Structure 1
Amino acid sequence: MEKEVKITAPSLEILHDESRRWLSELEFLADEITFFNRLLNSYVFEPDTPDLFEDLQEHQKNLTRAEKKCKALKKQVQEHENQLSGLLDLANTTLDAAYKDKHQYLKEDMEVCLAEFQGLKHGMFRYGQTILKKRHRKDK
């Protein structure tokens, strides 16, 4: 005898929790962006070679792009979260397909945003290592 497997859609509470987690992650990203902006604009990252200066400018440009993207995504998630809160207040237990689709698109956007920012941070750390190694060699 085979058991019937039911695939159930996530509840409003689950979607609400996930949206709130996204907002928290985006707040943290905003703090990290502020930190990296300050770091890249500090005297530590004033490289002496033109090649590294071009890298610095590229990292600053990428960070600005990431900041704009995160702000836009945060606005979308906040609007989505507000709608979810309204549905929870109404104790509406059914979600229409369009709303679920919107949640899924936001989930995918969040995953892309987080992955891209990880790559950006990785590049900035490599850049920082290069600068610090050069300075360390000069100090010897």
Structure 2
Amino acid sequence: METKIKKDWLGRVKSIEELHDDSKLWISEVSFINDELHFFNDLLSTYYIDIIDSGLSDEINKIIKKITQEKESYNAFMKLIQYQENLLSKLIYTGSVTSNPNYLKMHQDLEFKVNAYIKNSKLLKKQIFSIVEDQMRKKEQKKLL
């Protein structure tokens, strides 16, 4: 099925398969981020006391709050992506994908939201690694003394 669809927001043509591939990629990325969030939660738990002792309790509480928000966003994104996929199947079945500007707009909006979610999770990851790295270095320095 090589039906081409004009995506006005990018000014280029994408096939139905490419739209479906977008959704598969989003599911993969968002699921991976969710797995990382569980890892980060465990990582922060491991160094929680050291981080609190070093006076970063406000910062760690903000990060834990962000992790909680990201986990909630995960569920919302998965529902949106699944809805998008179901709608695409219905539109393919009825043969009206190319004539449905609402679907294309919804796909565009979801793409921007998922990209923002991925970007935010990367920033959160940098913050977490920075804090944990600092704590590991401090712990190693204490061992050397």
Q: Tell whether 2:55 aligns with 1:46.
A: no
Look up the SS of the partner of 1:94 in the other structure. Answer: coil
Question: Under a length normalisation based on structure 1, what TM-score does the superposition of the two structures give?
Answer: 0.85
Q: Distance in 2 between matches of 1:116 and 1:18?
A: 19
Q: Percent identity?
A: 29
Could you tell me which residue of structure 1 aligns to residue 137 of structure 2?
Answer: 133
Given that 1:16 and 1:81 are in contact with CA atoms closer than 8 Å, whether structure 2 keeps it comes out as yes
Structure with higher strand content: 2
Given that 1:22 and 1:110 are in contact with CA atoms closer than 8 Å, whether structure 2 keeps it comes out as yes
Could you tell me which residue of structure 1 aligns to residue 71 of structure 2?
Answer: 67
Q: CA RMSD in A?
A: 2.0
- What is the 5 A alignment of 1:94-113? 94-113=98-117
Q: Tell whether 2:4 aligns with 1:17.
A: no
Question: Under a length normalisation based on structure 2, what TM-score does the superposition of the two structures give?
Answer: 0.82
Code of the aligned partner of 2:28:
S
- What is the 5 A alignment of 1:1-40? 9-40=13-44
Task: Indicate how the Cα distance of structure 1 residues 53 and 101 shifts in structure 2: closer, same or farther if over 3 A, else same.
Answer: same
After TM superposition, the structure 1 stretch with the greater mean CA deviation from structure 2, 9-18 or 129-138, is 9-18
How far does residue 50 in structure 1 lie from its aligned partner after superposition?
Answer: 5.5
Q: Distance in 1 between matches of 2:49 and 2:12?
A: 55
Given that 2:88 and 2:97 are in contact with CA atoms closer than 8 Å, whether structure 1 keeps it comes out as no
Q: Distance in 1 between matches of 2:77 and 2:27?
A: 9
Q: Distance in 2 between matches of 1:80 and 1:115?
A: 21
Given that 2:37 and 2:67 are in contact with CA atoms closer than 8 Å, whether structure 1 keeps it comes out as yes
Q: Distance in 2 between matches of 1:122 and 1:24?
A: 20
**1:120 counterpart (98, 121, 124):** 124
Deviation string for 1:65-106 (max 9, x for gaps)? 111122211211111011112223445452411110000000
After TM superposition, the structure 1 stretch with the greater mean CA deviation from structure 2, 106-115 or 61-70, is 61-70
Look up the SS of the partner of 1:10 in the other structure. Answer: strand
Q: Tell whether 2:59 aligns with 1:55.
A: yes
Q: Distance in 1 between matches of 2:12 and 2:136?
A: 53
Extract unaligned runs of 5+ from structure 2: 1-5
